[in-house]
Amino acid sequence: MSNRALVIGASGGIGAALCAHLSERGSTVTRLSRAADGFDITDPSRVRAAMDGLEGPFDTVLIASGILAPEGKRPEKALSEIDAASMARVLAVNAIGPALVLRHLPQLLPTKDRSVVGVLTARVGSIGDNRLGGWYSYRAAKAAANQIVHTASIEIARKRKNAVVVALHPGTVQTPFTEDYPTHRKVSADEAASNIVSVLDQLTPEDSGGFFDWEGKPVPW
């Protein structure tokens, strides 16, 4: 990798750790977040203005924003808990948001050199791996994000043959995102960031469009 990175969702647990990790290994990191920059990923005009204001090319781009459920809500455990407004919000942040970023991203990627674009989705967005049920909105939003990433990878490859555009499962990570799940075994955000960057380092353009976990293993769709 060369040395210019863009991290969206830089205020989050994993996003901040990714910024620190990339910076430590010599990348110049551009950070975008709602908390620091008012970058609301669900707002098309804000996304466009922020992306148009950046100067590329970036060889590494990570989208690390996301919600499990709207503020004050929990993910559904049963069909009876489905709420249209909550579901729309989860889809807006986790699926439409990354799509809006990808819409403006090609112009910021190098045309010839290798670049990597990693969108943090989640293993629970895998339909093939879903044995537990529940979490309707989050699962559906991450599955939609996976499809958007895969589709974008096909289009981006037409003009940028060395671009690697992938969906990534970061593992179960100790961040505000998982604080309601104290019994789950979690890794630190630092460890997750290091894992993600190692996976990105190993991927080739032939891997573009794929869905990989923190060990670099493909995750079923």
Ligand X SMILES: NC(=O)c1ccc[n+]([C@@H]2O[C@H](COP(=O)([O-])OP(=O)(O)OC[C@H]3O[C@@H](n4cnc5c(N)ncnc54)[C@H](OP(=O)(O)O)[C@@H]3O)[C@@H](O)[C@H]2O)c1
> According to the binding rule CB under 6 A, does residue 35 interact with ligand X?
yes
4 three-state secondary structure: strand
Taking the least distance from each CB to ligand X, the nearer of 11 and 86 is: 11
Asked if residue 72 binds ligand X (CB under 6 A), the reply is no
| Residue 182 in the binding site for ligand X (CB under 6 A) | no
- How many helices (H) and strands (E) the chain has is answered by 7, 6
Range in contact with ligand X (rule: CB under 6 A) among 6-14, 49-57, 69-77, 205-213: 6-14
User: Among residue numbers 81 through 120, which ones bind ligand X (CB under 6 A)?
Assistant: 93, 120
Minimum CB separation of residue 185 from ligand X in Å reads: 11
What is the residue type of 42?
T
Q: For the sheet with 163-169, list strands across it.
A: 28-32, 4-8, 60-63, 115-120, 163-169, 211-213
Residue among 4, 12, 27, 197 that touches ligand X (CB under 6 A)? 12
- Answer whether 29's CB lies under 8 Å from 5's CB: yes
| 178 near ligand X (CB under 6 A) | yes
Nearest of 190, 191, 194, 189 to residue 176 by alpha carbon: 189
- Write down the least CB distance from residue 124 to ligand X, Å: 7
Burial environment of residue 133 by CB neighbours within 10 A (0 to 12, 13 to 18, 19 or more): exposed
State which of positions 113-172 bind ligand X (CB under 6 A).
120, 122, 169-170, 172
Under rule CB under 6 A, residue 175 binds ligand X: yes
Candidates 7, 50, 64, 143: give the one binding ligand X (CB under 6 A). 64
Q: Which is nearer to ligand X, 116 or 120 (CB)?
A: 120
Q: Give CA–CA dist 197/180, Å, rounded.
A: 27
| Among 17, 16, 23, CA closest to 5 | 23
Tokens of 38: 């008012």
**Closer CB to ligand X, 114 or 116, in the complex:** 116
| Near ligand X by CB under 6 A: residue from 14, 156, 167, 200 | 14
Cβ-contact 30, 37 below 8 angstroms: no
128 vs 176, beta carbon nearer ligand X = 176
40 scored as a contact of ligand X (CB under 6 A)? yes
Binding site for ligand X (CB under 6 A): 9, 11-15, 33-35, 39-42, 64-67, 93, 120, 122, 169-170, 172-173, 175-178
